[in-house]
Amino acid sequence: MNFLDQLNRSIFIPSIPKRIISLVPSQTELLVDLGLEDRIVGVTKFCVHPKGLRKGKTIIGGTKNYRFDLIDELDPYLIIGNKEENDQEGIEILMKKYPVWMSDIYTLADSLGMILRLGEIFKVEEKTKSITDRIQSDFLEKPIRKGSAVYLIWNNPIMAAGSRTFINEMLFWAGFENLTKENRYPEISREELKQLNPDYLLLSSEPFPFKAKHLEEFEELLPNTKIKLVDGELFSWYGSRLLRSKQYFESL
């Protein structure tokens, strides 16, 4: 059968895939939650959920650098990736040899669409509908506004999550106004950060692992800002981990 991915590419998949490589941590976790763990043969080194999964799977590299030799040995029936998280050149090489289904996610609706489409491919529509119904229920009501925020994903150079990102969408649902209006993940100077003077500065646990020691550094720069360490997975993972996000947002 032919299935559309989120890049509007038609992917021919002759039967329910029995050998899957997942190149995206949040989508790997989703596949496990859909009961497909035994079909996953390859994952990235960043596929850390569920705990212990990587011990029983072949690690084919990271999300942007792939061991093509290992992928060939695994002979996957389907590779699942994401436009933002994966390396375009590497993905295009894989597309020449294997069916590659790509997600492209900026909004909550995109995430729900991804989950439902994978349900169609693997014939687990009831499970994906259950997950998406629960997520939709969690995000039904508009959040109470907390104030303005800047969300940092990297240090030295300082990089923030801007518009046209899934994090930007989650900031809205967490009740924050994102002050970083540039697209994607712009670098910002300390002076620019000081001028923005957000109500909240959110230091993410990934991809840069901000720790308690960084709080003092930014507290000195922004004495009137509430500075918090936040769980980056609950702001940026767009699979079944979203089932935990709303409750976490309310706790901030």
For residue 59, what pLDDT is reported? 98
Q: Domain boundary at 116, 137, 158, which?
A: 137
Percent of the chain with pLDDT over 70: 100
Clarify whether residues 102 and 193 are in a common domain.
no
Crossing angle for the helix pair 108-122 and 25-33, to the nearest 10 degrees: 50
Mean local confidence (pLDDT), 25-43: 98
The whole domain housing 17 covers 2-137
For residue 33, what pLDDT is reported? 98
Clarify whether residues 84 and 192 are in a common domain.
no
Q: Domain boundary at 80, 102, 137, which?
A: 137
Record the pTM.
Answer: 0.95
Inside any domain, residue 142? no
For residue 10, what pLDDT is reported? 97
Inside any domain, residue 200? yes
Clarify whether residues 57 and 115 are in a common domain.
yes
For residue 177, what pLDDT is reported? 98
For residue 147, what pLDDT is reported? 97
Clarify whether residues 176 and 101 are in a common domain.
no
Clarify whether residues 110 and 163 are in a common domain.
no
Clarify whether residues 12 and 120 are in a common domain.
yes
Contact (CB, 8 A) for 103 and 24: yes
For residue 65, what pLDDT is reported? 96
Mean local confidence (pLDDT), 5-9: 98
Mean local confidence (pLDDT), 209-219: 95
Q: Domain boundary at 105, 137, 169, which?
A: 137
Clarify whether residues 186 and 108 are in a common domain.
no
Clarify whether residues 101 and 207 are in a common domain.
no
Q: At 218, is the pLDDT very low, low, confident or very high (cuts 50, 70, 90)?
A: very high
For residue 213, what pLDDT is reported? 93
For residue 191, what pLDDT is reported? 96
Q: At 39, is the pLDDT very low, low, confident or very high (cuts 50, 70, 90)?
A: very high
For residue 203, what pLDDT is reported? 98
Clarify whether residues 105 and 168 are in a common domain.
no
Inside any domain, residue 126? yes
Mean local confidence (pLDDT), 6-19: 97
For 99-111, how does the pLDDT look when each residue is reduced to its tens digit (9 = 90+)? Answer: 999 999 999 999 9
Mean local confidence (pLDDT), 2-16: 97
> Which CATH number fits the domain that encloses residue 114?
3.40.50.1980
For 154-206, how does the pLDDT look when each residue is reduced to its tens digit (9 = 90+)? Answer: 999 999 999 999 999 999 999 999 999 999 999 999 999 999 999 999 999 99
Mean local confidence (pLDDT), 112-128: 98
Inside any domain, residue 25? yes
Report the mean per-residue pLDDT for the chain.
Answer: 97
Domain total in the chain: 2
